[in-house]
Amino acid sequence: MDVAYNLILIVHFIGLASVVGGFLVQMKSAEKGVNPAMWHGALTQLVTGVLLVGLAEMQDFDVDHAKIGVKLVVTIVITVLAFVGRKKPLPQIGLWGAIGALSIANIVIAVLW
Ligand code: HEM
């Protein structure tokens, strides 16, 4: 079970890299918007985050429900914004900026809360 938890945590980090990487790579572009890396990364974070919580509960790991609840709500907002933007014409500066800012906020919450 520990191996499964650690493997999913690794995929959680890859999802994080995908959302934030997809955001950062467009920093200098005039045509900013939701790219596939951001959309798939958001979905990855949602799925792996929920799986991590499930596995943690099964193993009686301590889970901070308030922190996880806030991360879950922020990630749902990110995923909805990415879904809305993924087929819209560029530029989508607002969507791009909101997804980047919320993703970085979730990293801050994950590490500092
Ligand atoms: C954009 C969305 C997300 C980002 C950027 C993110 C970021 C992170 C980071 C940086 C860590 C490692 C922090 C640490 O272990 O100290 C982490 C771990 C974790 N995250 Fe997320 N996360 C996101 C979404 C979610 C969601 C939606 C959930 C659950 C519903 C979740 C649940 C967890 C859990 C359970 C851990 C493991 C903590 C541990 O083993 O200590 N995450 N996340």
Q: What is the pLDDT of residues 33-45, one digit of tens each?
A: 999 999 999 999 9
Ligand 1 centroid to Cα of residue 29, in Å, is 29
Q: State residue 64's pLDDT score.
A: 97
Tokens of 17: 């890299």
DSSP secondary-structure letter at 31?
S
Structural domain including 11 reads 2-112
**What span, in angstroms and rounded, lies between the C-alpha atoms of 99 and 36?**
13
C-alpha dihedral sign at 14, 16, 17, 19: positive
pLDDT at 8 over 90: yes
Does ligand 1 come within 6 angstroms of the Cβ of 78?
yes
Does ligand 1 come within 6 angstroms of the Cβ of 72?
yes
Q: What is the pLDDT of residues 73-108, one digit of tens each?
A: 999 999 999 999 999 999 999 999 999 999 999 999
Does ligand 1 come within 6 angstroms of the Cβ of 111?
yes
Q: State residue 37's pLDDT score.
A: 98
- The count of domains in the chain is 1
Environment class of 88 (CB within 10 Å of its CB; exposed 0-12, middle 13-18, buried 19+): exposed
Q: State residue 1's pLDDT score.
A: 74
For 53, residues 6+ apart whose C-beta sits below 8 A from its C-beta are 63, 68
